[in-house]
């Protein structure tokens, strides 16, 4: 089952939450810059420790306007331990499959 989301502006987002019924068995993440300027994005796994530990997949990657980035290596994770999150500056769509 694919997950589709859109985000605008600047912020932080949970793409797949810990203990999600969606599960962490994913093979691909497509990030598409839908804005008129650059998108700067970090995608990471986060555990539930206090303070939380982050394990970055990509860090402060700049995706130009009109471009996309596909991530498809070492993405599956255990949702009983981690959530999949992103911090961003810009507008983008994400498809997780």
6-49: pLDDT as tens digits: 999 999 999 999 988 777 889 999 999 999 999 999 999 999 99
Q: Return the ∠ at Cα 74 (arms to 44 and 21), rounded to 5°.
A: 65
Tokens matching residue 71: 């991530």
Query: Across residues 60-84, what is the average pLDDT?
Result: 95
Backbone angles phi, psi at 19, to 5 degrees: 65, 25
User: What does pTM read for this prediction?
Assistant: 0.93
Asked if 68 and 29 touch (Cβ cutoff 8 Å), the reply is no
- Rounded distance, CA 58 to CA 86, Å? 9
Taking residue 66's Cβ as centre, other Cβ atoms within 10 Å add up to 10
| CATH classification for the domain delimited by 3-96, as one of 1.10.10, 2.30.29, 1.20.120, 2.60.120 | 2.60.120
pLDDT at 21 (0 to 100): 79
């Amino acid at each position: 089952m694919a997950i589709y989301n859109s985000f605008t502006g600047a912020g932080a987002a949970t793409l797949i939450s810990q203990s999600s019924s969606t599960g962490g068995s994913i093979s691909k993440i497509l990030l598409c810059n839908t804005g008129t300027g650059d998108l700067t994005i970090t995608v990471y796994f986060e555990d539930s420790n206090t303070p939380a530990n982050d394990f970055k997949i990509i860090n402060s990657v700049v995706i130009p306007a009109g471009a996309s980035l596909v991530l498809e290596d070492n993405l599956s994770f255990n949702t009983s331990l981690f959530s999949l999150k992103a911090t961003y500056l810009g507008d983008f769509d994400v498809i997780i499959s």
